[in-house]
């Protein structure tokens, strides 16, 4: 679990990254889960967007994907969400202490 201080730090990092996960009318499928998992392994922090054609809310999508890939939901704002998962083998982001 990440603290509010760490969450704020991750939110500031997320401002400058591109949105790479898109969830549309196809909803959440294996491909989206695999893409998210691979991206988290490589970057630790990913930004996603829920398109208007999707029947699920941004919060539902973020929570479900996070649960599937064992990541933390950093934030959900409008149609966008940010997920974080530490790569224990090769950490790229150093979080502030709790």
| Number of folded domains that form the chain | 1
Residue pointed to by tokens 């499928």: 29
**pTM for the complete prediction?**
0.94
Tokens of 57: 């809310």
Domain of residue 53 covers 4-84
Cα distance between residue 40 and residue 34, in whole Å: 10
Least reliable range by pLDDT among 52-56, 72-76, 87-91: 87-91
Average per-residue pLDDT in the chain?
95
Residue 74 domain-assigned (yes or no): yes
pLDDT tier for residue 36 given thresholds of 50, 70 and 90:
very high
Residue 63 domain-assigned (yes or no): yes
Query: What per-residue confidence (pLDDT) applies to 96?
Result: 86
Q: Tens digit of pLDDT for each residue in 48-70?
A: 999 999 999 999 999 999 999 99
Cα distance between residue 16 and residue 19, in whole Å: 10
CATH number for position 73: 3.30.110.60
């Amino acid at each position: 679990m990440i603290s509010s201080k760490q969450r704020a730090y991750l939110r500031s990092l997320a401002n400058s990254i591109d949105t790479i996960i898109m969830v549309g009318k196809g909803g959440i499928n294996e491909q989206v889960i695999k893409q998210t998992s691979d991206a988290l392994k490589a970057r630790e922090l990913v930004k996603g967007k829920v398109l208007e054609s999707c029947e699920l809310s941004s919060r539902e999508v973020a929570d479900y994907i996070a649960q599937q890939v064992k990541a933390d939901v950093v934030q959900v704002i409008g149609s966008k969400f940010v997920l974080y998962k530490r790569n224990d083998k090769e950490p790229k982001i150093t979080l502030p202490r709790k």
